[in-house]
Structure 1
Amino acid sequence: MRQELLSLPKTLADDVARNLVMVAKLLDEEPEKAYGYSRVALRLASRVPAVREAAGFAAYAVEKYGEALAEFRAARRMTGSVELWPVMADCERGLGRPEKALAMAGEPEVQKLDRAGQVEMRLVAAGARRDMGQTDAAVVTLQSPELASNSVQPWTARLRYAYADALLEVGREDEAREWFAKALEADQGGTTNASDRLAELDGVEFTDALDEDEDENDDDETVAEAPAEPVRQDSSDGDTPADAPREGRPEQG
């Protein structure tokens, strides 16, 4: 990235670099802000491949899949690299075109990917199979030497987790539990919620003791402040009942 920015005047390069640093810093925790910085960098230096790639990942993080795909394609045209192929295929899934993603999994570009890229492509292909309702095929797609290996690699936890999730969807609960446990074993960075899925399968529910204490304190305050006689309110006065849903509040998908 630094090498690519050397093609720009120094002041401009510095400005672009600052925005790219903020994209990287905010992408996981505050993707909307990261997206904003990426748009600034894009306006300043749209002909720099690293800028197009960063803009693609920022758009991907906020689920603007069409925009992300356009940026990834631009970056690929500029560099000739195939490393973005899996995420491009996943954008096709995000756009509701799993058949296209699956077709990309069979293209010659996949053979040019490194091992991590090929595992990522396998994950995308399995996701496309599930999108299409082909759950048994998704299970088969994830079966690979990388899945069977006892070696822990950066992709191991996610691959095992995806396999466990696919097994659970086809009703193979005992095997799913085994693979969730294997995913947890490999998940040193906390990239999955395998522990929660295991607890769910085991019927274990976790309760936050601090939340319970706060609820009890709230109840105590409510009792202490309650009036001696209930206050009756005429429903004809036009006020909204306390249990009425608030309009304009979107449901979380």
Structure 2
Amino acid sequence: MPEGLEASMLDRSVLRDLNTLGPKADTIALHLVAAGSLVDADPDRALAHVRYARDQAPRIAAVREAAGIVAYQAGQWAEAARDLRACRRMTGDSSHLPLVADCERALGRPDRAIVLATAPEGKGLARSVQAELAIVHSGARRDLDEVEGALLVLERFGLGRDQPRPWSARLWYAYADALLDAGRDAEARDWFAAAAEADVDGETDAETRLDQLGGPDGAAEDTAP
């Protein structure tokens, strides 16, 4: 257990749910806090902590949610989908639908990913979640070699080049990548450039991809010593 962690670091609503477990509530809370503190630097260690919490409290929705998210970040796709589905059944909240759909893609089941990404409940979710669903849907179309369909998914969602949103960098990156698959390199460079400019948090490698394509104008990079 990493030092300096306290159960009180968890959200109060999660602590309330854990308190129904009695004496072991604090221990489970500490494991959840540990998982959150480690997930970026050491996802495998974080996974061990969150698995312990899940084994001790499988009927607490917040625990299953944490387990699913950490498993996703650790690349444990089947486990992530299972826990996030369990959380969805317990709460009725579909906000993690993009992650579940992406797990299906990673498991080699793009058809299932498309079913989830186009599920009716997706229409009632926050616009940011809908953007993630569109990205996963587009990616699944590309998995099926339906590149034009992949582009159309993102275009129908709305690229909004003139009105950047918090999700724009990821959306534009996905569009640029699909354009590249379609052989439309000049347009891909333009959208990678837009994604790089919008990506203030470093969520994508748009700038690197743009450099690999020779920059916005397609000029070859100077590789002279």
**TM-score, normalized by length of structure 1?**
0.76
Which has the greater radius of gyration? 1
1:204 aligns with 221
1:122 aligns with 134
2:75 aligns with 63
2:103 aligns with 91
Give the conservation status (yes or no) of the 8 Å contact 1:82–1:112: no
1:15 aligns with 27
Q: After superposition, give the CA deviation of every residue in 1:12-55 in whole Å (9 maximum; x if it has no partner).
A: 33222222222222222221111111111112222111110111
1:5 aligns with 15
Quote the Cα distance in structure 2 between the aligned partners of 1:11 and 1:206: 63
Superposition deviation, residue 146 in structure 1? 4.0
> How many residues of Structure 1 are paired with residues of Structure 2 in the alignment?
208
Quote the Cα distance in structure 2 between the aligned partners of 1:169 and 1:14: 50
1:190 aligns with 202
Gaps spanning 5+ residues in structure 1: where?
Answer: 213-253
Give the conservation status (yes or no) of the 8 Å contact 2:196–2:206: yes
Superposition deviation, residue 111 in structure 1? 1.1
Please tell me the root mean square deviation across aligned C-alpha atoms, in Å.
2.0
Which amino acid is 2:82 matched to? A
Superposition deviation, residue 153 in structure 1? 2.3
Aligned match for 2:169, one of 157, 168, 174:
157
Give the conservation status (yes or no) of the 8 Å contact 1:199–1:205: no
Give the conservation status (yes or no) of the 8 Å contact 2:131–2:157: no
Which aligned segments of 4 or more residues in structure 1 are displaced greater than 6 angstroms?
Answer: none
Superposition deviation, residue 85 in structure 1? 1.4
Quote the Cα distance in structure 1 between the aligned partners of 2:35 and 2:140: 28
The answer as to 2:171 corresponding to 1:137 is: no
Quote the Cα distance in structure 2 between the aligned partners of 1:193 and 1:204: 17
Superposition deviation, residue 10 in structure 1? 6.1
Which amino acid is 2:150 matched to? A
Quote the Cα distance in structure 1 between the aligned partners of 2:78 and 2:180: 31
Quote the Cα distance in structure 2 between the aligned partners of 1:88 and 1:155: 19
Superposition deviation, residue 149 in structure 1? 4.1
Quote the Cα distance in structure 1 between the aligned partners of 2:63 and 2:186: 46
The answer as to 2:167 corresponding to 1:172 is: no
Quote the Cα distance in structure 2 between the aligned partners of 1:146 and 1:206: 38
2:62 aligns with 50
- The DSSP-based 3-state class of the residue aligned with 2:159 is helix
Superposition deviation, residue 11 in structure 1? 4.5
Aligned match for 2:193, one of 172, 181, 201:
181
Gaps spanning 5+ residues in structure 2: where?
Answer: 1-10, 215-219
Which amino acid is 2:162 matched to? N
Quote the Cα distance in structure 2 between the aligned partners of 1:143 and 1:118: 13
Quote the Cα distance in structure 1 between the aligned partners of 2:223 and 2:167: 28
- Which of 62-71 and 113-122 deviates more? 62-71
1:23-38 residue pairs with structure 2 within 5 A?
23-38=35-50
The answer as to 2:100 corresponding to 1:108 is: no
- The DSSP-based 3-state class of the residue aligned with 1:63 is coil
Give the conservation status (yes or no) of the 8 Å contact 1:85–1:109: no
Quote the Cα distance in structure 2 between the aligned partners of 1:204 and 1:27: 36
Give the conservation status (yes or no) of the 8 Å contact 1:160–1:180: yes
Q: 1:44 to 1:205 in 2, by over 3 A?
A: farther
Q: After superposition, give the CA deviation of every residue in 1:90-116 in whole Å (9 maximum; x if it has no partner).
A: 111111110011122222111121101
Percent identity between matched residues is 44
Quote the Cα distance in structure 2 between the aligned partners of 1:36 and 1:165: 34
